Amino acid sequence: MDSVRNVLPKAHHRSCAKHIESNWCKKWTSGEMKKLMWWCAWSTNDEEFKDQLNKLGKLDECVANDLVRISQVAWCRAYFDTQCKNPIVDSNFTESFNSWVLEEKGIPIIKMLEKIRVKVMEILANHEDKVRSCKSNYSSEFMKLYNNYRAIAHCCEAHFNGYYGYEVAEGDDKHIMNLEHNKCAYRMWDLSGIPCPHAIKAYLHKNIKPKTQIHWYYYKETYL
């Protein structure tokens, strides 16, 4: 991370939470501690992160202190930059790609880069064909997630402030919405680009179709 920070100071760099867990758990092996470490990583805002960290601190204050020595900007959703619209805290995608080009890594560097270039070119062409054949504007995986959010939204309660703001309650939790700036205090909307259940509830209350607020990253046309 230090090298990336020095060479590309404006780049947003993330660390795999699974790797952090592996290193951190060499010292702290309790299953309950591991669970709370992951809840810290999955926290989408500062308040939620601190709540989970306090729970961890009640088990062992040294454990919590040891965890926060690692920069949260790199592994916790609450502090992720929202530009790339990706809330993932592990590196499964990177690991999958590394496995995919494993054979090419065993040859001289120039030939390796050329083979990887051709391999990537071919798979991008194949994926484009699949996208063109898709009848919907969104992938089936995306629609499954969106429909799950819609189902949760029906269980929420919205309170309008008369302008662009809403207070949306999901059980005992309350979240502040700003439809003018497309922001929710929960932050998952900012992180993913997909209207969260609280945003969906607010848009439905205002008779606006939530799908119109989906980030362009998810549109079929983006990949053609």
**Tell me, what's the pLDDT at 2?**
67
- How far apart (Å, rounded) are the C-alpha atoms in residues 51 and 46? 9
- How many structural domains compose the chain? 3
For residue 84, tell me if it sits in a domain.
Answer: no
C-alpha distance from residue 222 to each of 86, 128, 132, 138, 215 (Å): 16, 11, 11, 10, 10
44 shares its domain with 108: no
Domain contains 119: yes
Q: Residue 90: inside a domain, yes or no?
A: no
Is 169 or 60 the better-scoring residue by pLDDT? 169
Q: 149 and 114: one domain?
A: no
Q: How confident is the model at residue 1 (pLDDT cuts 50, 70, 90)?
A: low
164 pLDDT higher than 90: no
Residues 6+ apart with CB under 8 A from 138: 146, 214, 218, 219, 220
Q: Model pTM?
A: 0.84
Query: What is the average pLDDT score of the chain?
Result: 90
For 194-215, what is the mean pLDDT? 94
Residue at 91 is within a domain: no
Phi/psi of residue 84, nearest 5 degrees: -85, -5
Domain region containing 127: 101-133
For 103, the token pair is 């054979």
Query: Is 90 exceeded by the pLDDT of residue 10?
Result: no
For β-strands 165-170 and 173-178, DSSP reports them as antiparallel
Indicate whether 122 and 176 sit together in one domain.
no
**What is residue 219's predicted lDDT score, i.e. its pLDDT?**
92
Q: Taking 70 as the threshold, does the pLDDT of residue 81 lie above it?
A: yes
Q: Which residue has the higher pLDDT, 186 or 2?
A: 186
Percent of the chain with pLDDT over 90: 57
Task: Give CA–CA dist 170/173, Å, rounded.
Answer: 5
Asked if residue 144 and residue 129 are part of one domain, the reply reads no
